[in-house]
Amino acid sequence: MAHGHAEALAPMVDRVARAAGVGLAELGAVAVTVGPGSFTGLRVGLAFARGLGLAVGCPVLGATTTAVLAAMARAPSESSGVPIAVVLDARRAEVYLQVFNADGTPRGAPVSVAPEAVADRLPDGPGRITGDGSALLPRPLPPEWVEAPDPARPPAPAILAALVSAPGAETVPPRPLYIRPPDATLPPPNARAPASGPA
């Protein structure tokens, strides 16, 4: 959706709960992705999740969007696994990048970089790339790196729930993870406004 997230989210959750035959009062926890992502989408989703958790009286458990996508990109049939690079479209000719080890542990914090700079930040292959920003990367991809199947799919709720509910899971606070400052900023002070204080 380009617009209308706030208006659509609550009715959507209500429909899903009804279809599942679950009353909201029965929830044991609310799981939510914290970003990186769009500023508006993060604020809307997190505000709703925190409000729902407060109303129900259950904890709100966060996971990064990149961790969920990395878990989705891991092939369960592989015995050793490979690193996963999650690349998300950050707009303004940049992408958010975070690399994960084969076991899902992050190799560092997510960063905002130009698509052309991603190759220099990847470990030597083989590896797998996922995320909607993979389409922005120069071709060919770095040696031995391949795209995961359907790399642009959004975070799967079932994978998010599994991550935050796993024994010993390290959840993150339900606060937005911003990698760069927002596009909207406060206007500069009005130089013609009268100065305050004693004359």
Which domains does the chain carry? 5-18+26-65+154-165 (3.30.420.40), 66-147 (3.30.420.40)
- Least confident segment among 19-23, 59-63, 76-80, 87-91: 76-80
Question: What pLDDT, in 10s, does the model give residues 98-107?
Answer: 999 999 999 9
Distance CA 104, CA 81 (A): 10
* pLDDT tens, position by position, 34-71: 999 888 888 999 999 999 999 999 999 999 999 999 99
**Exposure on the CB side of residue 133, measured as CA atoms within 13 A:** 26
- Tell me what pLDDT residue 159 has: 95
CA pair distance 34, 26, nearest whole angstrom: 23
Condensed to tens digits (0 to 9), the pLDDT of residues 15-26 reads 999 999 999 999
